[in-house]
Structure 1
């Protein structure tokens, strides 16, 4: 290398024996000859699943259920529904996601029938509390009734101590699931009802309030949605590699699933290789994504078995402790570059799964070779994430847990870690909470614009262009010292407020 040459080629940087994560490396800027709006982020999730944006929601039970899957599809990405539930429940989530033509997740609280409202906080920020068979989301299509803020305020103290089921009002204002949003808004104005229930085949699909519609109207306009041949949102689902997952797969296919992800923390196993071959033999038109992998050897085994996509990452998630507990894994930047280098030779798209905390991490993952990024914590706490909001120290939060946590394992996720129900369970994840992020319908468009700015700085107008520039050694990288990482972030201030948009 000439003494005047800047940085290192990726091939040389990642051959030094270090396990780098995203913050450890930095790209050097290239030449700009196009506008930010000229950057295209269209890509592929797998061989036959195209996306307008490279965003995938992680199959975690505090991240991806029906509202998240529908919202991600509406934005041009895709959601992968978790399987930490029984077969019927997962199939129901798939069907509901496809029925959410307008992916509006209500700000209203969803409570169980035995819930007792103790303060007006239960209504915040909405004027309604809806009574459902499951708290937190509308995943189970059964809406029982509702309570208004004014109704509760006018009740005496003895009445307020009753369970909401005893004084709720019934919901009698239903409209078809595929109604235009303009007609929905007009009906709400005409009926002076405050909310509307959307139904499909006699089952509740969603509930939308006037406030919800006003809020959504202020979000950035979405690009082309991810729509399947049936005209409905494309939705993915995770499954395991046990014999019972073959029955699960059959139900998911009947529910209309568009792609399946074999969900394992270490995907290079006999069990996964056998399942890949089973899926491709039984449902040849269904794309199957294998993983997780972090080495070229692992990737080659899954590619030879017939996968249509790969998922990369081991121990890189914010709530994952696999590297700490098992001493196995790899820094995510190194893992993405190495696996993408081998996958590209077979035309296999790669999902960079885990370690995404900001738009810069997304840029790095994509430029290093990934076709998409899978996000858990980045999307957790959003309006569309499963679970009910709570307040802690004045902050509005939602629970977020790793699928390797003992709490998640008790519901069945231990098979992701090749666990056996007859043996001891060892946690490879934690349970935590994240702050309210608002709607992904706002978060993702702003994030994608920041990613486009990163691509512009690198002189790459598309993912393919970025990959070509990297492999031709035109794009250069350097490792960052600890001091350089501090310098690259906010520093030297007494106080500051950090907002992404």
Structure 2
């Protein structure tokens, strides 16, 4: 029996009784009892069944948002960046590799020299790769018995560059034996106070290496998203349009080390074909698929082998901006999409759902409260310094003016022309901040933690348990109050950004 002192309604009754779809602005979460501080809230979650994040934030795969720099900063903060596919395969592969190189982790293929090499050979290697410290093995090959290491301290003071490495190398080595977790390797590196830790097998043959630079990065970014080898997590977008599944791009990205591939497109059949092929050829790569605006779409994607689902409109999730407004036009708001897709996917397949179309921490809290495990940000990140164009981009346009985007001449990274285009009322959000993404994410996660505290839940599993057991309550806003809020927001936006005109005002 429901507690008579409970306020509001459980999510099930709200959505079952609705005759139309709800947006995030239509719902209000009822506060709960909080006996803990906001700093105690844990935001750890999953974006796919195998990829765990300390911050439930994924960047949208847009060319105004995510390239290598943005993906790196998000991974360092605990989120995940999905590098856009609106570029050549080679460029996208190089961006993925740049993110993976930022934190070396276990260097599985370190540069190696032999005792008979000379300092001149080391100089050539340094000029070509920038590497100044090199392990020395018996035959100069990886997998051979290690006999020493040459660092810049050994080579810089030697004037004769024809000297053999056997005479200048350090023979007293700090090593560790495999199998060894990356965290354990960092602890050994810190305890021994050395710059390089050589990882050997049972026969003292060199198999990998860990460097001190990674120790500093782990110290400065304790919440970074890393894989088992210690490298940063990174995703990449692969378009899967009807009849044109981009298999060359998907296979190249998987071989480049992408941890996640986001397969999006307007044709579900092509997505299904690409998912099945990828799961057969590259089972270690997680597949995020979508955007799903209905349970039927989500069911097909999951049964094809997807490891996670994106729920929301196509434009915000990287899909076709021309076809994105269709779901909204027939009355399916973002909140309804997220709730119904998450309700089905999480209960029947135990897979996480990522909510697209989120533009603020309050909307992110609502999406997580409706069953999502992570949120996909696009507009809030488009104005940051790490975005393509260095913070020059404004909020991307879609819905009514998506046709303008599709026929416009190929635009530059800054998209300065968008500032002069009339913005639809539904997306006339304030131009996003112009600072580093790290500062914005601190603000964003602070809002999430305070929201969790207000609801009385310490972490995401507790929040989803409250949703399932009807402990989380909500109410619907009256249409008049929604219109009043929109009018106030439009007035504030127009005063701050007079160049941006709401679409409803321009049509008068």
State the TM-score, normalized to the length of structure 2.
Answer: 0.64
Counterpart position of 1:6: 7
Deviations 1:31-68 (A, max 9, x none): 11221111110001101111000000000011010001
Please state how far the C-alpha of 1:292 moved relative to its aligned partner: 1.0
Q: Which runs of 5+ in 2 are unaligned?
A: 105-126, 134-216, 411-425, 497-508
Is contact 1:398-1:436 (8 Å) kept?
Answer: no
Counterpart position of 1:286: 285
Please state how far the C-alpha of 1:322 moved relative to its aligned partner: 3.8
Counterpart position of 1:353: 356
Q: How does 1:236-251 map to 2 (within 5 A)?
A: 236-241=235-240, 245-251=246-252
- Residue 58 of structure 2 corresponds to residue 61 of structure 1: no
Deviations 1:102-128 (A, max 9, x none): 9xxxxxxxxxxxxxxxxxxxxxxxxxx
Helix, strand or coil for the counterpart of 1:31?
coil
Helix, strand or coil for the counterpart of 2:376?
strand
- Residue 298 of structure 2 corresponds to residue 296 of structure 1: no
Is contact 1:336-1:369 (8 Å) kept?
Answer: yes
Is contact 1:383-1:436 (8 Å) kept?
Answer: no
Q: Which runs of 5+ in 1 are unaligned?
A: 103-171, 179-216, 391-396, 413-428
Is contact 1:239-1:261 (8 Å) kept?
Answer: yes
Q: How does 1:115-130 map to 2 (within 5 A)?
A: none
- Residue 480 of structure 2 corresponds to residue 480 of structure 1: no
Please state how far the C-alpha of 1:357 moved relative to its aligned partner: 2.2
More displaced stretch, 319-328 vs 72-81: 319-328
Distance 1:476 1:489 in 2: 24
CA separation of 1:405/1:85 partners in 2, compared to 1, >3 Å: closer, same or farther? farther
Counterpart position of 2:21: 19
Q: How does 1:112-261 map to 2 (within 5 A)?
A: 222-241=221-240, 245-261=246-262
Q: How does 1:260-409 map to 2 (within 5 A)?
A: 260-264=261-265, 266=266, 269-314=268-313, 317=316, 320=321, 322=323, 324=325, 327=329, 330-345=332-347, 346-354=349-357, 356-388=358-390, 398=394, 400=396, 407=405
Helix, strand or coil for the counterpart of 1:18?
coil
- Residue 456 of structure 2 corresponds to residue 459 of structure 1: yes
Distance 2:101 2:132 in 1: 7
CA separation of 1:87/1:53 partners in 2, compared to 1, >3 Å: closer, same or farther? same
CA separation of 1:495/1:386 partners in 2, compared to 1, >3 Å: closer, same or farther? closer
Please state how far the C-alpha of 1:295 moved relative to its aligned partner: 1.6
Is contact 1:41-1:54 (8 Å) kept?
Answer: yes
Q: How does 1:102-113 map to 2 (within 5 A)?
A: none
Deviations 1:188-219 (A, max 9, x none): xxxxxxxxxxxxxxxxxxxxxxxxxxxxx9xx
1:437 to 430, 434, 437: 434
More displaced stretch, 402-411 vs 307-316: 402-411
1:90 to 86, 89, 92: 92
Let me know the Cα RMSD of the aligned residues.
3.8
Is contact 2:365-2:451 (8 Å) kept?
Answer: yes
More helix by share: 2
Helix, strand or coil for the counterpart of 2:442?
helix
Helix, strand or coil for the counterpart of 1:383?
coil
Distance 1:324 1:308 in 2: 26
Helix, strand or coil for the counterpart of 1:261?
strand
Deviations 1:325-376 (A, max 9, x none): 684572110110101101112111101011x222110100111110100011
State the TM-score, normalized to the length of structure 1.
Answer: 0.64
Say how many residue pairs are matched.
363
Distance 1:64 1:71 in 2: 10
CA separation of 1:238/1:389 partners in 2, compared to 1, >3 Å: closer, same or farther? closer
Please state how far the C-alpha of 1:263 moved relative to its aligned partner: 1.3
Deviations 1:352-407 (A, max 9, x none): 011x22211010011111010001101101101012555xxxxxx55745696665
Which of the two has higher C-alpha Rg? 2
Please state how far the C-alpha of 1:304 moved relative to its aligned partner: 1.4
Counterpart position of 2:191: none
Distance 2:299 2:461 in 1: 22
Deviations 1:54-107 (A, max 9, x none): 0000000110100010011000000001111111111011112223349xxxxx
Helix, strand or coil for the counterpart of 2:382?
coil
Counterpart position of 2:169: none
Is contact 1:322-1:329 (8 Å) kept?
Answer: no
Distance 1:177 1:236 in 2: 31
Please state how far the C-alpha of 1:324 moved relative to its aligned partner: 4.5
CA separation of 1:400/1:491 partners in 2, compared to 1, >3 Å: closer, same or farther? closer
Counterpart position of 2:504: none
Distance 1:274 1:222 in 2: 39
CA separation of 1:3/1:38 partners in 2, compared to 1, >3 Å: closer, same or farther? closer
Counterpart position of 2:467: 470
Distance 1:254 1:93 in 2: 13
1:47 to 46, 49, 52: 49
Is contact 2:354-2:376 (8 Å) kept?
Answer: yes
